Structure 1
Amino acid sequence: MKLSKMFHPLVWIILGGTIFTRIASFMAMPFLAIYLHNEIEASPLQIGLTIGIAPLISTVGGFFGGYLTDRFGRKSVILLTIFIWSIVFFGFATAHAVWFFVLFNALNGLCRSFFEPSTQALMIDFTPADKRKRLFSLRYTAINIAAVIGPIIGVYIAQLSSPSIPFMLTGIMYIVYAVFLFFVLNRYEMQKPKATTQTKILQTFTLLLTNRVLLSFIFGAILINIGYSQFDSTLPQVIELKIEDGTKLYSLLISLNAAVVLLLQLPISIVSERFSSTTTLLVGILFFAIGLLLFGFSNNYTLYIIAMIIFTIGEIFAFPTMNVMIDEIAPDTQKGTYLGAAQFKNLGGFLGPIIGGWLLTHYIDTLFVVIAALVLCSCFFYKSKLKPHA
């Protein structure tokens, strides 16, 4: 079967939109820590709080967003969220105080926590179960295509004009995508919310809390995200301290991260299909930890590049597998709710920058050693094969 015919046209539209919006986001958001440091003169802890507030809000928002998309349908949640999201980026472009950045990044996290479960659930609705692992792999590839292009454009635009312009351009691109989706989604008949999804939100939350498989997944993922969050928070600050003109190196590492994903995603995906999701995730955790340790010892371009490659291999093994796990765990009538509940893993993205910021201030030499140890601790939550909740 040709790849173009493997998925519904709407799935391809959403995947294309993922590339478009992620290019917009990658033009600005990876440089938020550097922007706060250079333009706002924020402290490491203030930067950590600003970066970490988005995943903190998405931790709770993801559950509500996933529940609402099951309860009221995908289209309404997607369209409302993307319009609000565009306003958030205009806010970034015009803010001049740290606390405004905290507020706007909180809204950024809330929007993402509504938009991600909704679009993923929508693609699942139009994709047979036996093709979903390939779907998540393609979606991850789409994100990393954007990650190659976005940072390069962002650095180029910021150097030609003001560092705030990439945020403004991102807001414009999100408005364009919102208008496009408004017309496209009205062309297709969306799946109606099923009677079994008409459960009160408190009952749904209680049900999820009793699902030990889901909880084990979330606790392990929190620790993994503590490690991964250093990529956006402490790593650019450490590079700025160690390397002259660190912004260029960090931009290179972001693009390298995405390029390695594009190069190795398919072969690693083929290999990982021979093993269980748990085994694949454990391999990813090991590579993550090694990459983090190498970041701590790096002091030149070559070492940072090697560390980034190893770190990225861990990412390739781990992140698509985590989405597959949630699909395996979730009942058919509650895909959005479970995808949303899985956003509780983003608590690690909140704690990570704060922990990293504190270590950067007081114990910079052991920062990445401590973080790598925390990531390795996630293995205890995946020591046995996760099975769907009955």
Structure 2
Amino acid sequence: MTRIKQYIGQFHPIVWVLLLGTVLTRGSAFMTLPFLSIYLSRNLELSPIVIGITVGMSPLMGTVGGFIGGHLSDRFGRKPIMLTALFTLTLVYFGFTIANEQIWFILLNAINGLCTSFFEPTSQALMADLTEKTKRMKVYSLRYTAINIGASVGPLLGAYFANTSAKVSFAITGSTYLLYAIVLLWIMNKLVISNEAAAKKVVSAADAFKIIKTDKALRYLLVGIILINMGYSQIDSNLPQYLEKSVEDGVVIFSVLLTINAVMVVFLQMPISHIAEKISLMQGMVFGAIFMTAGLIGFSFINGWVTAIIAMVLLTVGEILIFPANSMMMDKLAPEHLRGTYFGAGQFRKIGHFFGPILGGYLLSHIQGQFMFLIISLVTLASIIFFTAGNKTFIQSITVKAESF
């Protein structure tokens, strides 16, 4: 009992509220958003391209919002930005329950992406503000685990509601965000946060563009991760449509695949990361791209449960390898005084989440789903070219600097 109290006591109460809220809201979001494409296909009979645009609006607005939200947080403080985002997200999900036209779903999902990009970076910054430097890595690890706990439960509920009443899942998600906002408002009013904790160093859009323009290695890295995200985005956009139309019990299989993905990340993240530490960051990213490509190719040959699970396992191993390594490479590229600017520029990786569903939707409309995944897998594999070029450029820049001394 004493150990539990000590463990809980090492973090600020607001940090624990944010972690618990992450489990609940991510679980609710994974109960709805991955099945949004199925809902639109069934109820509005939209084409895969239009569905791809609708789904892709969220990450597109998230790219913009990463900068806007940072500036607003710096100017007005963490609290008003976080609470405004949560209450707006509440309205978004309740809006999904009454929306009956394409334009409303596009608008609501755009607002969803914008508000999420306001809330998440600001909440992570607040976690850092309220946590000692030596414990921040543990906080971020707990947050990543919390995200995947929610992601492992949400899809199973989502599959049930997708076949019964999708609007109920939207209402539940909206209610969850409302409860989260109320609890966070209450505890923030009860616990005083110092002005120092409310401060935030942010990157402007102009600074981010300037960095990308001058750092060639960073540009290569961003292009590579954009291509990776174009492949990864198929999971939430075109994979559910493909499974529903081509495999018996496709919706159920899809929900189980999402759960397998999340559970694997939770339990295999540390073991695989430990193995990956024995190789270079670049090798980890290359292997990650290969595994992810293999998973996408596997999706093109799905004919039942076994092939679907094998494909998702391969893709998930690639995810575990590539995303942490990408963050570490971004940190490695960044000079100490520009680390925030580099991670701000890294928000452009979300462009892949916008164009991926659109490209996949276009291909799904004009060719068979099997060939769609094969083409997308080649796009994903092309990331290796840019990762390798970026690493080579970075090494060359270090060599030039060393020789100049």
Q: TM-score, normalised by structure 2?
A: 0.86
Structure 2 vs 1, CA of residues 22 and 278 (structure 1 numbering), >3 Å: closer, same or farther?
Answer: same
For the 8 Å contact 1:133–1:324, the answer to whether it is kept is no
Equivalent in the alignment of 2:384: 379
For the 8 Å contact 1:117–1:336, the answer to whether it is kept is no
Equivalent in the alignment of 1:223: 227
Equivalent in the alignment of 2:294: 290
CA-atom RMSD in angstroms:
2.9
Identify the match of residue 322 of structure 1 among 326, 329, 333: 326
- Give the letter aligned to residue 366 of structure 1: F
Residues 165-202 of structure 1: per-residue CA shift (max 9 Å, x gap): 101111111011111112333423352436xx588764
Equivalent in the alignment of 2:101: 97
Q: How does 1:1-390 map to 2 (within 5 A)?
A: 4=8, 7-127=11-131, 131-159=135-163, 162-186=165-189, 187=191, 188-189=193-194, 191-193=197-199, 197=201, 202-203=206-207, 205-207=209-211, 209-327=213-331, 338-364=342-368, 365-383=370-388, 384=391
- Give the letter aligned to residue 374 of structure 2: V
Residues 211-270 of structure 1: per-residue CA shift (max 9 Å, x gap): 444433322211111000100111111111211231111111111111222221221132
CA distance in 2, matches of 1:142, 1:60: 25
For the 8 Å contact 1:140–1:320, the answer to whether it is kept is no
For the 8 Å contact 2:94–2:171, the answer to whether it is kept is yes
More moved, 231-240 vs 135-144: 135-144
For the 8 Å contact 2:223–2:386, the answer to whether it is kept is yes
Residues 108-133 of structure 1: per-residue CA shift (max 9 Å, x gap): 11112212221222223344555555
Q: How many Å apart are 1:93 and its aligned residue?
A: 1.2
- Give the letter aligned to residue 147 of structure 2: I
Structure 2 vs 1, CA of residues 370 and 268 (structure 1 numbering), >3 Å: closer, same or farther?
Answer: same
Structure 2 vs 1, CA of residues 322 and 65 (structure 1 numbering), >3 Å: closer, same or farther?
Answer: farther
Q: How many Å apart are 1:98 and its aligned residue?
A: 1.4
For the 8 Å contact 1:26–1:147, the answer to whether it is kept is yes
- Give the letter aligned to residue 225 of structure 1: N
- Give the letter aligned to residue 106 of structure 1: A
- Give the letter aligned to residue 375 of structure 1: T
- Give the letter aligned to residue 259 of structure 2: S
CA distance in 2, matches of 1:286, 1:312: 11
CA distance in 2, matches of 1:321, 1:137: 14
Structure 2 vs 1, CA of residues 280 and 295 (structure 1 numbering), >3 Å: closer, same or farther?
Answer: same
Q: How many Å apart are 1:325 and its aligned residue?
A: 4.2
CA distance in 2, matches of 1:113, 1:179: 20
For the 8 Å contact 2:208–2:342, the answer to whether it is kept is no
- Give the letter aligned to residue 219 of structure 2: L
More moved, 310-319 vs 100-109: 310-319
CA distance in 2, matches of 1:49, 1:166: 22
Q: How many Å apart are 1:281 and its aligned residue?
A: 2.5
Residues 281-334 of structure 1: per-residue CA shift (max 9 Å, x gap): 322212111101111112111100110111111112222333444455557777
CA distance in 2, matches of 1:327, 1:264: 23
CA distance in 2, matches of 1:79, 1:315: 31
Q: Percent identity?
A: 44
Structure 2 vs 1, CA of residues 318 and 106 (structure 1 numbering), >3 Å: closer, same or farther?
Answer: same
CA distance in 1, matches of 2:337, 2:18: 21
For the 8 Å contact 2:67–2:203, the answer to whether it is kept is no
- Give the letter aligned to residue 140 of structure 1: Y
Gaps of 5+ in 1: none
CA distance in 1, matches of 2:83, 2:338: 21
Question: Secondary structure, in 3 states, of the residue corresponding to 2:87?
Answer: helix
Structure 2 vs 1, CA of residues 280 and 126 (structure 1 numbering), >3 Å: closer, same or farther?
Answer: farther
Q: How many Å apart are 1:95 and its aligned residue?
A: 0.6
Bigger Rg, structure 1 or 2: 2
CA distance in 2, matches of 1:136, 1:219: 25
Structure 2 vs 1, CA of residues 30 and 14 (structure 1 numbering), >3 Å: closer, same or farther?
Answer: same
Structure 2 vs 1, CA of residues 128 and 293 (structure 1 numbering), >3 Å: closer, same or farther?
Answer: farther
For the 8 Å contact 1:289–1:373, the answer to whether it is kept is yes
CA distance in 2, matches of 1:199, 1:358: 35
More moved, 223-232 vs 357-366: 357-366
For the 8 Å contact 1:277–1:324, the answer to whether it is kept is yes
